[in-house]
Structure 1
Amino acid sequence: MPKQVDHAGRRQQIAEAVCQLVDECGLEGVTLRDVAARAEVSMGAVQRCFRTKEEMVQCALVYVGDRVTERVRHRLKAGPAQSAASELGLVAGEVALLREEHRAEARIWLAFLAGAAVNPGLAETLRSSYASLEELMVRLIMEAAGGSVVGGSALGGVFTDGAASARTEAHALLALADGLTAHVLIGHRTVAEAEDVLHAHLAGLWARC
């Protein structure tokens, strides 16, 4: 019988290889030949999984985004019961990729972000990843601010116009997390300084509620 191929597993294997190459030499250094060599598969195997290089790179971007999102959700489920405000701080810290063990992931994410500025396909994929994280942040902000909506308005001073304000705050927090990722990577801020900035922003948010 012909050997059965785990296509999902093969695609993940190739996505991981793409990420390793992006970390080492940026998006411009990703070639079909190098990806096949790093994934230890044939070039034909890569081409059977992905019709184009762009499709392959987009899959790698989704893989990184899903890994961050899954880690966030796992930490929320695995940790002890805590307030929505504490959970939001945990989410923001994970998204900012500040810890040393996530440094390679941070480099990969920012490489994809830079590529998305000139690649509509990557930009669309990134927007989808951000949207998922923003929805989680909006929910936690609403819960921390009062936990309910009455007549279209959330309880809590900063959210008098309802979920729209919570969404604006989520946008700002996600943008701050991305900015801190970049500043730490280039050495403009230390991890401790970045964490202080993040904590100060969250403290200011709850002070306005």
Structure 2
Amino acid sequence: MPKKVDHDERRRHIAEAVLRIAGRDGLDAATLRDVAVEAGMSLGAVQYYMRTKDEMLRYVVAYLGEQVTARITAGVDFASVDVRGFLVSMATEMLPLDDRRRAERRTGQAFGARAGAVPELAEALREGQAWLHDRVADLISEAQRTGRAPGDLDPGHESVVFLALVEGLTAEIMLGLRDPDAALAAVRYHVGRLLP
């Protein structure tokens, strides 16, 4: 009996190979041929799932977004979430605190740089950022409704500030200017001032 192939699993396997290469050697090193070697597949098998590098990168952006989102939202009941704890957990998943998250962030930064030349890539990145922005703003609004956040906060602006803080701390960690513990301490400090 022929072996049944899980096509979604194969695509995820290819995406993981791209993330490993991009995290180790940069996104430009993630050619279809090198991804095939990293994934232990033939070039033809990789091209069966993703015909071009741009198609492969679009898939990897979506895959990466799904992975980070799943970790951020794992087990969260948004109706009764502890907003302070959730925002710290969100930052923890987004900051490059270990090899996996460093590879994800390095890859995400490379996608951002490449997005100007690939409109579909830019659109995927915009959608991911909009989702994050909306979740943070919604959580701050919910905290205001339940009296856990000051009523004079502007949730949209506070969302921008929070996500900018995470991006800035990401850059500092990646450059070796701030260690992960200090970055998390800065997040906790900010969230504590935002939601006393």
Q: TM-score, normalised by structure 2?
A: 0.85
Q: Which residue matches 1:52?
A: 52
Distance 1:48 1:183 in 2: 39
Q: Between the two proteins, what is the percent identity of the paired residues? A: 39
Distance 1:94 1:180 in 2: 13
Distance 2:54 2:130 in 1: 21
Query: Which one-letter code corresponds to 1:23 in the other structure?
Result: G
User: For 1:34-113, what aligned pairs fall within 5 Å after superposition?
Assistant: 34-74=34-74, 76=76, 83-99=82-98, 102-113=101-112
In the TM superposition, residue 115 of structure 1 has moved relative to its aligned partner by 2.6
In the TM superposition, residue 88 of structure 1 has moved relative to its aligned partner by 2.1
Structure 1 residues 100, 200: CA separation in 2 closer, same or farther (over 3 Å shift)? farther
Structure 1 unaligned blocks of 5 or more: 149-154, 160-164
In the TM superposition, residue 82 of structure 1 has moved relative to its aligned partner by 5.8
Structure 1 residues 190, 118: CA separation in 2 closer, same or farther (over 3 Å shift)? farther
Q: Which residue matches 1:158?
A: 152
Q: Which residue matches 2:27?
A: 27
Structure 2 unaligned blocks of 5 or more: none
8 Å Cα contact 1:110/1:182 also seen in 2: no
Distance 1:108 1:183 in 2: 16
In the TM superposition, residue 143 of structure 1 has moved relative to its aligned partner by 1.6
8 Å Cα contact 1:145/1:206 also seen in 2: no
In the TM superposition, residue 70 of structure 1 has moved relative to its aligned partner by 0.4
User: For 1:58-207, what aligned pairs fall within 5 Å after superposition?
Assistant: 58-74=58-74, 76=76, 83-99=82-98, 102-147=101-146, 156-159=150-153, 165-206=154-195
Instruction: Classify the secondary structure of the residue corresponding to 2:178.
Output: coil
Query: Which one-letter code corresponds to 1:194 in the other structure?
Result: A
The structure having more radius of gyration, on CA atoms, is: 1
State the Cα RMSD in Å: 2.4
Structure 1 residues 15, 99: CA separation in 2 closer, same or farther (over 3 Å shift)? closer
In the TM superposition, residue 144 of structure 1 has moved relative to its aligned partner by 1.6
Distance 1:3 1:195 in 2: 47
